[in-house]
Amino acid sequence: MKDIREIRIALAGNPNCGKSSLFNALTGSHQKVGNFSGVTVEKHEGYIDFKGYRITVVDLPGTYSLAPYSPEELVTRQYIIAERPDVVVNVIDGSNLERNLLLTTQLMEIEVDFLVALNMMDEVEASGMEIDIKQLQKLLGCHIIPTSATRKSGLDSLLDHVVRVAENDISIRKNKLFFRPELEASVEAIAALLRHQKELEAYNPRWLAIKLLENDRAIYAEVQRFPVWVKVELALQEAIRTAERLYDSEPEMLITEDRHAFCRGAVKECVRHPQLSRATATDYIDMVVLNRVFGLPFFLLVVWAIFHLTFTLGAPVMEALEFLFSSFAAIIRPLLPNELLRSIVIDGIIAGVGGVLVFLPNIVLLFIGLSFLEASGYMARAAFVIDRIMHRFGLHGKSFIPMITGFGCSVPAIMATRTLKSPTDRLATIMIIPFMSCGAKLPLYVLLTGAFFAPALAANVMFAIYILGIAVGLWTALLLKSTILKSDSEPFVMELPPYRWPTLLSVLYQAKMKALLYVKKSGTLILAAVVIIWGASNYPRNPKVDAARALESAKIASSSLGSAEKEHSLKALEMRSKSEQLEYSIAGRAGKVLEPLIRPLGFDWRIGIALVTGLATKEVVVSTMGTIYSIGQSASGAPVELKSILRNDPGFSRATALSLMVFVLLYIPCVAAIGVMKREIGEWRPVVIYALYSLSVAWLLSFAVYRIALFMQ
């Protein structure tokens, strides 16, 4: 067999440049997702077989620059420098060339082997724009391949160029971006000091010099470890003095200005715009969605519609999954004669893990809706609209971006606050992110709203829960920013990309990846938690209960009752005995200790157990309830759905459901989020204070909701 040559390429580009669509178009179904080493930023990787080559494609996080101010920027830079892919494909939105070229200039500085995929050429042609690609190639010193990911045009040409670059069968001039003379002299002076340092040979000396002049703390820390730093520091101080004397500015600002000047010049020289400018569809839509009066109601209407579609379309599939798990448990039951094994499989694994997996359709639909909003360009408008409100609560407008991320998971959302320059804005944003309804809380919302509310009303209730989380977060921000974190918020500047109709493949791919991670968590962490919870709910055994059950069983067996009556009595006895054993178990005793604290909220000791286990991850709340409430219920022969169990439980009412949703929304976040909060803040004291604050707020609001709901019943 002919050997297959392997080539590794990395896709780098701005957000909304069509990079993920290009990745999907190239790799098709040959994709996998995980996390980059050491961080929670997602890593998308796939491959394609092309002309005897196995080309591995890594989709780097979207970023505007290679300055390590956010996890995405740090991951992208580290991957390009440390992993050294054979080719970097810089994906550029052809309809927004000037903004996209800023990242290109930084790739030029690294002097990596790269190509430019000039994407969205269909939109460029439709707008009447003309781009002189040959001239742009001369300016950038790399080959430029026009592509359209949505139409899958230019892909073969792009791959052909990738192969030629990897095989050194194509000329790459690697142009340098030269700065103004005085700044260029400083760059060369520092680069000369670093050029012969063996310890730094993995880095391009010129790039290191530029980063040092940009006050890049990561590079500072790297170079400071070596003796050459003494000379480098003197050169840096001289560069700073020169910049201040000649331009009354800092080298960092001058470098940024020169990069932007290059981008503007390149666009002016290579791009021809149509003579007549007319309002586009984006302009007409923005008249409504960015309107001061209609913008916020429109945003709320969009979110409300997504929740309604989630419930309406997801309910039949969820019911089918519930029936599937119930039927599976009924088939398995007679095949497991051992009572202990039968209990752990049916009461533990099927009731716990199955109780979480039945909500997968709703979660997938919600992810599809959110992915559609993000890919269409509307989510950036939502951030712009909400910015006006954020300033009233003392927050920077950029705080809304991590808050949006928090609807997926608090961990990357907390890390995304690194983009906020103000320490007080950053700390306040970190403190409010856990109040956002992350995806892990969704199964509980779907369970309780589905059990106690009609589908149309259920969507409204869940929508209200999400809004309550945002309201509590903003109120907390106002409290912090008006007391211990007083400071002025910075103005919010954000690019609004043109509206695009997302490709179905891209939206479904994003939803599929999130769904697979959810299923993986159900099969690992939640499964382990379920087994532990089952053990804690069944042990230690109370010998008195077992003895009483044996004695009562003997009496029923020797009685004159009919066979049907005996079977019914034995099943009732089994249910009663299991409930008594549950109260005697480790979990039962722990729940009993907590019960006096949570009883005013409408919770009994069983819910107390679920809330404690939910500190690991919020999905475990549902799996714990599935295990705890199913113990004793399965004795009837046919498994009972958790929704039906809760609906028929005399201690669980609609008021309890509302109170529980509010408490889970607001109380201490999962262990992973707490750990990241500590790492980002740097000390435990604010984290402990936050944990006590969130518990207090959760208790007070749950109490209020429970009492109001009882009054209205």
Distance (Å, whole) CA 260 – CA 268: 12
First to last CA, the chain: 75
In whole angstroms, what is the distance from residue 136 CA to residue 100 CA? 13
- How far is residue 568's CA from residue 550's CA, in Å, rounded to a whole number? 16
Reference 695, options 592, 623, 611, 587; nearest CA is: 611
Q: Are strands 53-59 and 114-119 parallel, antiparallel or unpaired?
A: unpaired
Please report the pLDDT score of residue 673 as a whole number. 77
Q: Which residue has the higher pLDDT, 404 or 207?
A: 207
Q: Token pair of 365, please?
A: 């639909």
E strand or H helix at 93 = strand 87-93
Residue range 45-89, pLDDT digits in tens: 888 999 889 999 999 988 888 876 667 777 888 888 888 899 999
pLDDT one-digit tens code per residue, 561-618: 777 777 777 766 766 676 677 777 777 787 888 889 999 999 988 888 888 877 767 7
What are 506-523's pLDDT values in tens digits? 777 767 776 776 666 555
The helix (H) or strand (E) run that includes residue 118 is strand 114-119
pLDDT in tens, 362-387: 777 877 887 787 777 787 777 777 77
Angle CA(130)–CA(57)–CA(81) in degrees, nearest 5? 90
Q: What is the per-residue pLDDT for 310? A: 75
Separation of alpha carbons 293 and 579, rounded Å:
56
3-55 per-position pLDDT tens digit: 568 899 999 998 878 888 889 888 886 666 555 554 446 678 888 999 889 99
Among the listed ranges 171-180, 261-270, 466-475, which one has the minimum average pLDDT value? Answer: 171-180
Residue 147, sorted as left (phi over 0), alpha (psi -120 to 50) or beta, turns out to be beta
Give residue 421's pLDDT: 64
Q: Which of 278, 403, 343, 333 is nearest to 578 (CA)?
A: 343
Task: Label residue 210 by pLDDT band (50, 70, 90).
Answer: very high
Class of domain 5-166: alpha beta
Q: In this model, does residue 560 exceed pLDDT 90?
A: no
Q: What confidence category does residue 344 fall into, taking pLDDT thresholds of 50, 70 and 90?
A: confident
Low-confidence winner among 190-204, 229-243, 391-405, 633-647 (lowest mean pLDDT)? 633-647
31-35 vs 42-50, strand pairing mode: antiparallel
Q: How confident is the model at residue 490, as a pLDDT?
A: 54
pLDDT digits (tens, 9 = 90+) for 585-601: 777 787 888 889 999 99
**pLDDT (0 to 100) of residue 645:** 80
Find the largest Cα–Cα distance for the chain.
108
In whole angstroms, give the CA distance from residue 310 to residue 304: 10
Q: What is the pLDDT of residue 655?
A: 93
State which H helix or E strand residue 446 sits in.
helix 442-452
Question: pLDDT of 650-695, one tens digit each?
Answer: 888 899 999 999 999 999 887 777 877 887 788 888 889 999 999 9
Q: Tell me, what's the pLDDT at 300? A: 82
CA atoms within 13 A on the CB side of 31: 23
CA 336 to chain centre: 41
Could you say which DSSP state residue 524 is in?
Answer: I
Q: Please say whether the beta carbons of 556 and 369 come within 8 A.
A: no
- DSSP per residue over 529-556, as a string? HHHHHHHHHH-S--HHHHHHHHHHHHHH
The closest alpha carbon to 510, from 364, 411, 360, belongs to: 364
Residue 447's pLDDT is 85
- Helices 423-432 and 685-712, axial angle in degrees (round to 10): 40
Per residue in 95-139, pLDDT (tens digit) is 888 889 999 999 988 888 899 999 989 888 888 888 999 889 888
* DSSP H or E stretch at residue 208: helix 205-213
The confidence band for 639, taking pLDDT boundaries of 50, 70 and 90, is: very low
The pLDDT value given to residue 587: 74
pLDDT for 292? 78
User: What type of residue is 456?
Assistant: A
pLDDT for the residue numbered 700: 96
The reported pTM is 0.58
| Chain segment 392-430, per-residue pLDDT in tens | 787 766 677 677 767 767 776 776 676 666 778 888 888
Q: Determine the length of the chain.
A: 713
* Three-state secondary-structure class, residue 6: strand
Alpha carbon 242 to chain centroid, angstroms: 44
What is residue 638's predicted lDDT score, i.e. its pLDDT?
39
Mean pLDDT check: name the lowest of 185-199, 304-318, 528-542: 528-542
pLDDT at position 278 is 62
What does the pLDDT read at residue 502? 74
Query: Which of 623, 376, 394 has the alpha carbon at shortest distance from 488?
Result: 394
User: With 0-12 CB in 10 A as exposed, 13-18 as middle and 19+ as buried, what is 81?
Assistant: middle
- Going by pLDDT thresholds of 50, 70 and 90, the confidence category of residue 634 is very low
Tell me, what's the pLDDT at 352? 60
Alpha-carbon Rg for the chain in angstroms: 30
- Region for residue 38 given its phi and psi (left: phi exceeds 0; alpha: psi -120 to 50; beta: otherwise): left
Q: 424: part of which helix (H) or strand (E)?
A: helix 423-432
Mean pLDDT of the chain: 80
Q: Highest mean pLDDT: which of 18-32, 197-211, 225-239?
A: 225-239
Cβ atoms 299, 379 nearer than 8 A? no
Domain 181-272 CATH class label:
mainly alpha
Q: DSSP string spanning 39-53?
A: S--EEEEEEEEETTE
Check whether 219 has a pLDDT greater than 90: no
Whether the pLDDT of residue 631 is over 70: the answer is no
The per-residue pLDDT for 30 is 66
Map out the domains of the chain as residue ranges: 5-166, 181-272, 295-481, 515-545+582-633+640-712, 546-581
Q: Encode burial over 135-174: b for 16+ CB neighbours within 10 A, e otherwise.
A: ebbebbbbbbbbbbbbeeebbeebbebbbbbbeeebebee
**Pairing, β 130-131 against β 114-119:** unpaired
Q: How many CA atoms lie within 13 A of 80 on its CB side?
A: 31
User: CA angle, corner 400, sides to 394 and 406, nearest 5?
Assistant: 125
pLDDT above 70 as % of the chain: 84
Q: List CB contacts of 475: < 8 A, sequence separation 6 or more.
A: 393
Q: Which residues pair with 54 in a beta bridge?
A: 6, 49
Q: What is the pLDDT of residue 663?
A: 95
